[in-house]
Amino acid sequence: MGVRSAFASVAYYLPGRPVTTEDINRRVCETTGYELTNGLIQRLTGVRTRHFRAPDEQSSDLAVSAAKQAMDRAGVSPDEVDLLIFAACTHDITEPATANIIQEKLGCRRSQVLDIKNACNSFLNGLDVADSHIRVGKSRCALVTVGETLSLSIDWRIRSTEDLKSRIASLTLGDAGAAAILKPVPEEDERGIMTTRFRSYGDKWRLATVLGGGSMYHFDQEYGYFRSESRELRDAAFDLIPSVVTEALDSIGWKASDIDVACGHQVTEEIVEGLRERCGIRTGHEIVTITDCGNTAAASIPLGLGRAYEEGKLSPGTKILLVGGAAGFSVGVLPVVW
């Protein structure tokens, strides 16, 4: 008898106090003297507030705060976790994997640990790997964690309209942690991850980057900040994501109108609404976090799922669509039954 993986819990963590768009405008002006048009960021992106980490909070700390909530909700002890994945854009250090630091902080001594990194789709890839481990019997309890300290990637040195074009997306970034516990259920059970679909379009990797830290620019601080061609990324999302959603749903006999809750990676409010329409999701069934949390990268999907849980929107049998478009450019789609 085969098994699939099902969510035992999900949780998120938002650090510090909300940082308003007015706070962002003020810091840009204090840094360079450049004054952003009042209300510009919110008008273009929908972002009103976001959260920034405390100076002593690391990516692992945000992940651990969410993981403790997820473990408590699932009634899972540290020794029960046999697979621990850290899946995020940011990390504590280059070597070793941040998952080792999380293991120490959580006390998950029996866990196999590893990092998975695929920009804003890292969490979805983490779920995919955990699901595969569970399906083949290599894991009985997987913990997938995210900790995004994206505020460190903001370049506040905006001096012109040209600077603003490539950096405005960074002004929407927010910090967050998230975590989910997966456990096996029998295949005939109606719960779980029903299928996964991933597509990548590597020729578009230049559209959103943090170039520093690797062999190309190594420790050159000038390249340690987020840059984005926002319009081109939006077009890629609209062109490439809907067909993968359709493919995933068709493979399990679902229609878009069957989806009860949709949680997607969120860059702007316009893209959230545009993808909802293009994918055929019913109005009001999408979970929106971009407006009060900003772009939280790989944390955005589990953040939305955690919000849905806390709002009582997840009950046995709820049909969920997890969908992400990430720098690279990559698309990930997971239909799930709660």
Q: Which of 100, 121, 125, 295 does the annotation list as catalytic?
A: 295
Active-site annotation holds for 120: yes
Query: Which residue in 89, 108, 120, 263 is the catalytic one?
Result: 120
Answer yes or no: are the C-beta atoms of 322 and 111 closer than 8 Å: no
One-letter identity of residue 74: A
Q: CA-based angle 28:29:31, to the nearest 5?
A: 65
Q: What are phi and psi of 42, to 5 degrees?
A: -65, -40
Active site residue 218: no
Distance between CA atoms of residues 105 and 317, nearest Å: 34
Q: Which amino acid is located at 11 in the chain?
A: A
> Do 145 and 102 form a contact (C-beta atoms < 8 A)?
yes
Q: Are 291 and 266 in contact (CB under 8 A)?
A: no
Count Cα neighbours of 332 within 13 Å in the Cβ-side half-sphere.
24
DSSP code per residue over 122-178: HHHHHHHHHHHHHHTTS-S-EEEEEEE-GGGG------SHHHHHHHGGGGGB--EEE
**Set 100, 265, 279, 285: catalytic member:** 265
Residue 234 carries which side chain, given as an amino acid letter? R
Closest CA to 10 of 306, 297, 303: 306
Catalytic (active-site) positions = 120, 265, 295
